[in-house]
């Protein structure tokens, strides 16, 4: 019985060493649409509010970029918020 317990302890230790010793997968910070997320650099420019005529009403669209954290190597992650509101047509 003692040999079995010793074997289990050594096996668990070996599994722990193997798990900690393997290389980790490095994250990939990419986006298929750079208009939604960008990595690094300065703050992307915000556009002026846009008016969309949608038949019986108009929609005002305002896009704003914000800093949303950093990558492990210190680059800023920029994400875009899009705000919409119904406005009277001019």
Nearest to 80 by CA among 34, 31, 33, 37: 37
pLDDT tens, residue by residue, 27-75 = 666 667 777 888 888 888 888 889 999 888 899 999 999 998 888 888 8
Verdict on whether the full-model pTM lies above 0.85 = no
CA–CA distance, 41 with 34 (Å, rounded to integer): 13
| pLDDT (0 to 100) of residue 44 | 83
């Amino acid at each position: 019985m003692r040999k079995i317990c010793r074997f289990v302890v050594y096996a668990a230790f070996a599994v722990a060493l193997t798990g900690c010793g393997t290389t980790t997968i490095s994250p990939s910070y990419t986006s298929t649409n750079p208009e939604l997320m960008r990595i690094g650099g300065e703050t992307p420019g915000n556009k002026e509010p846009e008016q969309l005529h949608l038949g019986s009403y108009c929609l005002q669209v305002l896009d704003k970029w914000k800093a949303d954290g950093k990558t492990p190597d210190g680059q800023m992650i920029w994400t875009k918020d899009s705000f919409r509101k119904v406005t009277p047509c001019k």
